[in-house]
Structure 1
């Protein structure tokens, strides 16, 4: 690992009309902070710091209307997939079959003959709820294999050619934890749910191309004021490329990566030989899926879906297997990250954590929770890693799927907070935009994308600005076990910060969407942005 700080890396950050928010309880706003070798060594009034100034230092002025904050740490995203989304077809705004087919035809025309067409973001609720089929893709000229992930990443539409290449036909059984949707005659429709999506494999980007994705994705995040991120699904085969990229100093932000559960034995061996990383890159987390998503009707629920009697979603990992995997991770001192969206999945995860005893536990998403389980997060020391930005989309149709009573306990952030749970904030990019400010806006207002909830969807579950910001800084730092060195601009903490063009503490919530990062700093050095 290259030394990214040197003895002369001294920085004074001072206000000249703007403000500095440290995130520290004792002194949330200060006039200045002093940085030495990448860490804050003093904060407070400028007059109290001037006596400590070294002979040589750089000065960063926070000008009129600007605000310096601890850098945002996105606790849940997918770095390489996010970079891929920046260069593939996007369908998030498509609201009809006609526009769907037109968008794909236009993008397909830019691709070399024989290459795959990949993309993401479609949402069948925008055009009335009908799932697309492979026939929607038959107009492409020339024909090509197609893989299009739904908005939530738990369902995909694939072309007939892609299914032929994968050997999927009427006789193909559903894989464990997945579903190949078939019509009334037993023929695959082109829709694959959860683990069934793995049956179709577009060509992987490896070596230099994968490295480009890591760099471009990280620069995009840095441009938003993000100084650290937790990558939720890094296969072991990609870890060496990521390490090499980081060791050359080519990644502008800190990364913490989660390895897929089925590769946990490989990770244990790797950690035994190489350790768990350092302050820039760490690989000590295991990701386990319990269910899918609500939008795909694959979230594991305690009761039937209101709009689909008899359907309670998918169980991707049963209790027995989950317990075995958690015990193995605990024995290896690895952090356990469990994807659980439905209330049955959340309860199952909490039950297993309780049975397995003390560990480093996170539940990713925790969107729909039975009220009896809300206090258990605090009682068991389980961190809830949430993505407020998902509510803006899901709440448009959530009551139709779950009914009003269960919907009331969906995304119950305020109740979780009041019950003592530690919340960490992320975006799930590219499932949703990586914008921290859109995420912050939704956490506070609980407004939906369709504009039909101007006062907020179950607004009593919204959380205030300061807590939401701490959730996206300190909460995320705690989720990686680094609450003592990341997430604040206080003495002893790394000088990771974002300089914003607007003071968010003086803005109405509606103006949060206008916020931009003027510059982003990691360990006291300005990062490259894209």
Structure 2
């Protein structure tokens, strides 16, 4: 492969072609392989960096272990506000989060914010709660248990306000460096008033880094004029991303048609009603702006898909498809709903690692929904067969940014028949993610002459040479698909390690 001025100039193995580049700098990969660089279609960069630079609770194995980690951090940073992320009580023996009193016993009067892994609920110390006037009157409040809904958004905003500019800056750069080190050259930042707020978003826009950031702003509008004005104000690529229709299954806030199996009186939360969903879609389509929502539960999906059907009736499928509308997560979707979305060209920005972490008969999904309902979640093959464009990401800090883990998870779904091929999964994490971000030139995310020279060099790791010959061959595909040879990604196989990341000819890592 020859690269000139940030563009792939030539591909081949013949000496005649090579002779055109006699004065080129030649790099011998010594057994490594090159593939199109990845794009993460859903991420929160500052929060991801805060996980890297702050208190990481993803390894907590019990409520007491979680509190011990907080105690150690408090002792090492006396008097400083605490921002922590990642506890997951569904993996603990008693499935019980720390209480406010237990957290207070560890941190004293220090404001402490401990986000659950899905970031839709959090344990907050009294020192933080007291900084939010009127908190007990807000939806989602509980005096002893984790806060959710509006109460969570308020304490999260206050905890965010306590971060210093240096903490935020260091976190962003740490996240961007980690992204580049993972072979990712572009990300879709899902920003919004209830995510990082306008200051965080504008600080990110001003950050100088080689990783390309495509930003979405999750705020609802009701007219085309409002949509255009908000795009002008924010500089976002669309009014999409984490515009919450509902919450998350782990926090019992995803909006369901039937109650949770482990909470019979609960069907989750509706944050955006049917009229507001339709108003937003109609306004954005009229303005030619990308719209979208965070949508997980089947009741939430139903409300959105019904609005999409009405949208197509008014504007026609081609006009709707041109806007590049997208849905984040889309975990509980039926075949009929997938067909409607496919006909409208609405993209599904999904996170395969959700199934890897929480799927299966004994996973969190089965606990929350029962085994039968849980088995239908994240149906990648159903959506692909209905013509729904797929784009894959991490939702970091919720799951790992490692894109090969994403590809493996999509091709090894817990539910038989819901997986897609490694080739299709790789395409969703490269070409599909570029397309979902508005790049529709037909070549971004590939390595063909004329394409941007955005690629990564990978070491595939040790292969089992004692295994049968056909089991150690690198997975490959017809060259006409423009997907390169890919490594084995069976469960247990080591994931490739990134040696170098290049975007438009510029080295970002390695």
Does 1:348 find its partner at 2:303?
Answer: yes
CA contact (8 A) 1:441 1:512 kept: no
Give a deviation string over 1:419-475, Cα, whole Å, max 9, x none.
Answer: 2221111011101111112222211223xxxxxxxxxx2132112111111110011
The structure in which a higher percent of residues are strand is 1
What SS does structure 2 have at the residue aligned with 1:493? coil
1:496, 1:523 within 8 Å by CA — same for their partners in 2?
A: yes
Q: Does 1:525 align with 2:509?
A: no
Q: Do structure 1's residue 376 and structure 2's residue 324 form an aligned pair?
A: no
- Residue 254 of structure 2 is matched in structure 1 by 299
The 8 Å contact of residues 73 and 477 in structure 1, kept in 2 or not, is answered as: yes
Aligned counterpart, 1:15:
none
Once the two structures are overlaid, the 10-residue window that deviates more, 411-420 or 205-214, is: 205-214
Is residue 490 from structure 1 mapped to residue 427 from structure 2 by the alignment? no
- Deviates most, 80-89 or 392-401: 392-401
Following the alignment from structure 1 to structure 2, what is the Cα–Cα distance between the partners of residues 407 and 487?
Answer: 33
Alignment match, 1:464: 421
- CA-based RMSD of the aligned residues comes to 2.4
92 and 50 in structure 1: CA distance in 2 versus 1, 3 angstrom threshold: same
Q: Which of residues 186, 202, 205 in structure 1 aligns to 2:159? A: 202
Aligned to 2:408, which of 423, 436, 441? 441
The superposition leaves residues 13-68 of structure 1 with CA deviations (integer Å, 9 ceiling, x where unpaired) of xxxxxxxxxxxxxxxxxxxx222221223223343532432x6533333322x111
Residues 283 and 48 of structure 1: CA distance in aligned 2, closer, same or farther (over 3 Å):
farther
State the SS of the aligned residue for 1:509.
coil
Q: Aligned equivalents of 1:119 and 1:334: distance in 2?
A: 35
SS in 2 for 1:108: helix
Going from structure 1 to structure 2, the CA distance change for 1:168 and 1:61 (only over 3 Å counts) comes to farther
Aligned to 2:146, the other structure's residue is in SS state strand
Contact 1:295 1:394 in 2 (8 A): no
Matched, 1:309 2:273: no
> Would you say the 8 A contact 1:35–1:42 is kept in 2?
yes
Of the structure 1 ranges 378-387 and 395-404, higher mean CA displacement relative to structure 2 is found in 395-404
Between the aligned partners of 1:233 and 1:385, the Cα distance in structure 2 is 15
Q: Would you identify which runs of 4 or more consecutive aligned residues in structure 1 move more than 4 Å?
A: 205-209, 262-267, 270-274
The more displaced of 86-95 and 133-142 is: 133-142
CA distance in 2, matches of 1:440, 1:161: 42
* Counterpart among 362, 366, 379 of residue 412 in structure 1: 379
Three-state SS of the structure 2 residue aligned to 1:375 is helix
- Which of 82, 86, 92 is residue 52 of structure 2 equivalent to? 86
Q: In 2 relative to 1, CA 296–223 (structure 1 residues): closer, same or farther, beyond 3 Å? A: same
Aligned equivalent of 2:317: none
Once the two structures are TM-superposed, the CA of residue 82 in structure 1 deviates from its matched residue by 0.5
Match for residue 174 of structure 1 among 138, 150, 153: 138
Measured at CA, do residues 212 and 101 of structure 1 come closer, stay the same or move farther in structure 2, by a change above 3 Å? closer
Q: Is the 8 A contact 1:236 1:263 kept in 2?
A: no
Of 505, 509, 516, 2:497 maps to 516
Give the counterpart of 1:422 among 389, 392, 401.
389
Query: Given the two structures, how large is their TM-score scaled by the length of structure 2?
Result: 0.85
How many residues of Structure 1 are paired with residues of Structure 2 in the alignment?
A: 463
Aligned counterpart, 2:9: 41
TM-score between both structures, scaled by the size of structure 1: 0.82
Partner of 2:316: none
Partner secondary structure for residue 260 of structure 2: coil
Residue 330 (structure 1) aligned with residue 296 (structure 2): no
Deviation at 1:221, TM superposition (A): 0.5
Deviation per CA, 1:347-380, whole angstroms, max 9, x where unpaired? 2112112222313211100111234322222112
Q: Name the CA shift for 1:34/1:346 in 2 (closer, same or farther; >3 Å).
A: same
* SS across alignment from 1:228: strand
Q: Show the counterpart of 2:245.
A: 290
Pick from 205, 228, 243: which aligns with 2:205?
A: 243
Which residue number corresponds to residue 222 of structure 1? Answer: 180
The equivalent of 1:69 in structure 2 is 35
Instruction: List gaps (5 residues or longer) in structure 1.
Output: 1-32, 182-187, 277-281, 447-456
How far the C-alpha of 1:383 sits from its partner, in A, is 0.6
Equivalent residue, structure 1, for 2:398: 431
Relative distance call for 1:412 and 1:63 in structure 2 (3 A) is same
Residues 59, 427 of structure 1: alpha-carbon distance in 2 compared, 3 angstrom cutoff:
same
Instruction: Give 5+ residue unaligned stretches, structure 2.
Output: 313-319, 461-473, 476-485
The answer to whether the Cα contact below 8 Å between 1:298 and 1:313 also exists between their aligned partners in 2 is yes
1:289–1:203 distance in 2 versus 1, CA, 3 Å: closer
C-alpha distance in structure 1 between counterparts of 2:389 and 2:27, whole Å = 33
Contact kept, 8 Å, 1:437 with 1:513, in 2: the verdict is no
The aligned residue for residue 118 of structure 1 is: 83
Determine the C-alpha separation between the residues in 1 that align with 2:457 and 2:220.
40
**Pair 492,444 (structure 1): closer, same or farther in 2 beyond 3 Å:** same
1:217 is paired with a residue of what secondary structure?
A: helix
1:244 is displaced (CA, Å) by 2.9
Deviations for 1:131-170, whole angstroms, at most 9, x for unmatched residues? 321022122255311111001111111012211221356x
How far the C-alpha of 1:292 sits from its partner, in A, is 0.2
Task: Name the CA distance, whole Å, in 1 between partners of 2:262 and 2:107.
Answer: 38
Q: Is contact 1:257-1:285 (8 Å) kept?
A: no
Shift of 1:415: 1.6
CA distance in 2, matches of 1:203, 1:458: 38
Q: Deviations over 1:370-402 (max 9, x none)?
A: 343222221121111110001122221322322
Matched residues in 2 for 1:512 and 1:254: separation? 30
Give the structure 2 partner of residue 189 of structure 1: 144
1:206 & 1:267 partners in 2: Cα distance?
A: 32
Measured in 2, the distance between the counterparts of 1:109 and 1:466 equals 48
